[in-house]
Amino acid sequence: MSTRLDRRDFSCACLLGLACLGLYLSTLQLRLFGVDAIGLIGIAAGVDAEIYWHPLYTRCGRLLCQLAPGADPVQVLRSMSAAGAAAAVSGSYLLCRSFGAARGSSALATALLAVAPAWWFFATTVEVYPPHVALVVCGALLVREAPRRASLFPLVSGVLAYPLVFLSHQTGILLLPGWAALILRSQRERGRATTLVGALAVCAALALALATAIALGNAMRGDGFQLATASSSGTIERFHVLMPMHVLREGWFGGLGLLGVLALGACFARVGVGARDLEAALLVLPSLAFFLWWGPIEKGGYFLATAPFLAAWAANRLGVPEVPRFPHPLRWCVAALLVAVQAALALSGLRAHDDGLHPERRVIAVRSALPRGGVLLSADGVAPDIAIQLRDVREISLLHFMPYVLEHRPEPRVFVEQMILPSISALVASEPAVALDLSYRRHPGEFALGLIYLDRLEDLLAERFLVRRVETHDWPLLLLGAPRTP
């Protein structure tokens, strides 16, 4: 059973979206998350010519930065995340209603989604997930809300929307089974019976859309219009760590919070399994199964694309007359308490991460240490390329050595002495000044595998050069002076 959306639904969706946009913009994190953010900012600012993994995001980010030439690229992309997440919140409420959920349960599920720890976290930092989820939700709404008299419209809109879903994040491939079920269900609601031939036609059309998206993504990255997925396969193989219970606990429940608990409760709200339940399973379970097998947690970010469908399914299961209900005033009190607890959990996670390593402070510290320009050596992913703000300073990341180090595990002192130190010596001799960013010391657990190599690097730098540790605005740097005399 589906529900036709009306003005009241769109009004509620707009109010929820605007409220969330204000919330996300007022709680934007200053510290960045992960090395992906550094690459995305560099590309958007025009410092890095690489297209990166997410060609749709990088091109949109660069376009926005060009439209606002005086704006800070970091702030532009943060705002892009907030806007994407807020739009996805509005769409999620409409999706709940379109799936047949009552307004009250739709509002509760959407509110729990909007302040889920992973959702709020990525809505306030630079990442690809919020715009990706917004495109997923908009595409699903196009399929669901197709004109009632046009039985082929769900297929057409679903096939046209899917390449954007995939190009915004390659994990969109995991939505294919559910996307097909979504199209077939919408066609049935418009009087078009599901036959084997019809189902095969939908699958073939989506396969063609996927192939087009893969080839287009390769072309946008400069690899030519070809069906090649070697880079994705390599990423899966390189980061595969089988820790299903850890991913379930820290990624799924930790990222979704009480929304995951609500979904578990929805399993017992009604007896039996219907077509809507199977459709939701096809939308949610392939992604859940893959990431339980693969291993990376990403603070629950990988589960955000399926979270609106989980919320819609839970709201539909709970918001029906057969479900026992609390008295009306008590229902609102319980709902408000759940949302408040969810928001408190998410806010504590934001504050724990956003702990002082702010890119703006780094700019001040580097300018103070390198007043005439020079080279900054960095070893973590907490700030964008310094050249975005300081054009006379060139940043060189030592993380480029990490893949080789992780694969071959060379002896630390020998590796640093032979592979890194000669290049640094040449820089000291040719550049106005050279400094090493020591901010990785604040979070040694995040760089545990490479920390021993960085320790040896610091030791050898102290042996070979006159060094001075400086700390401006609480940002630590190691300034390299002249070589020591034998």
How far from the centroid of its chain's Cα atoms is residue 384's Cα?
17
End-to-end CA distance of the chain: 83
Q: What is the mean pLDDT of the chain?
A: 86
Taken as a whole, the chain contains a residue count of 486
Query: Any idea what DSSP says for residue 432?
Result: S
How far from the centroid of its chain's Cα atoms is residue 351's Cα?
18
d(CA 433, CA 34): 27
10 Å Cβ neighbour count for 352? 8
Residue 133, pLDDT > 80, answer yes
Short-list 311, 264, 309, 317, CA closest to 287: 309
Q: What is the DSSP string of 295-342?
A: ---GGGGGGTTTHHHHHHHHHHHHSSTTS----HHHHHHHHHHHHHHH
Q: How many CA atoms lie within 13 A of 205 on its CB side?
A: 20
Mind listing the pLDDT tens digit for each residue in 206-249? 999 999 999 998 888 777 777 876 567 667 776 767 778 888 88
Mind listing the pLDDT tens digit for each residue in 395-454? 998 877 877 887 788 898 899 999 999 999 999 999 999 999 988 777 655 555 578 888
Contact yes or no for 111/314 (Cβ under 8 A): no
Cβ-count burial 364-373 (b if 16+ within 10 Å, e if not): ebbbebbeeb
Tell me which residue has tokens 């408040």.
340
Contact yes or no for 232/240 (Cβ under 8 A): no
Mind listing the pLDDT tens digit for each residue in 353-412? 876 667 788 888 899 989 999 999 988 667 788 888 898 999 998 877 877 887 788 898
List, in sequence order, the alpha helices (H) in 221-297: 230-238, 244-246, 254-256, 258-267, 275-294
Q: pTM of this prediction?
A: 0.87
10 Å Cβ neighbour count for 481? 12
Q: Where are the chain's structural domains?
A: 7-353, 359-483
d(CA 52, CA 36): 9
10 Å Cβ neighbour count for 201? 12
With 0-12 CB in 10 A as exposed, 13-18 as middle and 19+ as buried, what is 254?
buried
